Amino acid sequence: MSGSPAANMKAFRSIFSPSTPQQRNENFESYWRFTLRHNGDILEQEQDLAIKRETLRNFQGSPVRSRQSLPKPESFYRNYVKMRDDPRTIDPKTLLLTCIYKFARHEWVGISGAWDAVPSMAQSRTTTERISRYHLCEEFCHVRYFHEMFRTLRLEEVEWVPLGPLMGRVYRLFPKMPERLMSPPAFISELMGMTFYLEVDRKLDEIFADEPEARDRIRALLHEIMVDEMAHIGQRRNFIGSLGIRAAKQMVRPMIWAFFREIPEAKLLLDIPRMIREGLDFDYSVMPAQLVERSWVPSYLQVS
């Protein structure tokens, strides 16, 4: 993985460490200042952020494309929404890309379902409401980064397809749950995402060894997402008190197993037991130092 976690010399507390209400209130304000500096003005009608938009334009302005197409591009298009073939018969590049799509698709459906349930910026009255709206725009930007990954591998016809009616309804109702019930699983979903991104980052050198330029572009796009997701983990942690954080820790194992059980290629690509361990043991010292420096960590998780 480019950027070894071992290079991160700072010390951090476990993501499940205790915090006080006062600390969390102070850190909401700290996070809000960080994210405005990091991403710029919200472009709410476009579900976009000013600095994120410019970053994507910079990537698109100097496009990178793989030297060769996938061995069988038609295999990607046949299996990226739903696995129709035996995944053991699919080449590793295609398999990794279908896995990334399926993960990102859940993200896209979730934020699309939440968009109408979360107050607009004009309707927001508190810092946490403004954060929630802004957070959704960040996630829409991530979907655009994922889309650019596919284009890097010469996949120009990827579509974002809704999930079935049942899951679509679940994602629409989830943001309407009381905060004390919603926050622990929302926090673990962010943590699960980071364990997935770490696995993908490890796989890039192995699977795209013959496509160094495309590999580096995919990694650059992935790292843009990871910087935000590190901050999202801390931000979502900030919603949870002492009882909720104990409940959240118990959710790590079942949520990761349940989510990736629905992605057939995951068991061939990912070390899911390692992902669970990394979720349970997570602190920011496991992340590449250069990414941590660009991100945000709650003050109560930093060792003085």
Closest to 256 (Cα-Cα) out of 198, 203, 197, 193: 193
For residues 5, 57, 45 and 49, what is the CA-based torsion angle, rounded to 10 degrees?
A: 40
DSSP state of 6: G
- pLDDT (tens digit, 0 to 9) for every residue of the chain, 304 residues total? 554 454 456 799 999 999 999 999 999 999 999 999 999 999 999 999 999 999 999 999 999 999 999 999 999 999 999 999 999 999 999 999 999 999 999 999 999 989 988 999 999 999 999 999 999 999 999 999 999 999 999 999 999 999 877 777 777 777 777 877 889 999 999 999 999 999 999 999 999 999 999 999 999 999 999 999 999 999 999 999 999 999 999 999 999 999 999 999 999 999 999 999 999 999 999 999 999 999 999 999 999 7
Q: Are 84 and 78 in contact (CB under 8 A)?
A: yes
Report how far residue 6's alpha carbon sits from residue 9's, in angstroms, rounded to the nearest whole number: 7
Report how far residue 21's alpha carbon sits from residue 248's, in angstroms, rounded to the nearest whole number: 17
Report how far residue 304's alpha carbon sits from residue 297's, in angstroms, rounded to the nearest whole number: 13
DSSP 27-55: HHHHHHHHHHHHH-SEEGGGTEEHHHHHH
Q: How many CB atoms lie within 10 A of CB 137?
A: 21
Overall size of the chain counted in residues: 304
pTM: 0.94
Q: Are 219 and 201 in contact (CB under 8 A)?
A: yes
pLDDT given at position 12: 96
Q: How far is CA 293 from CA 1, 3, 290, in A?
A: 17, 12, 5
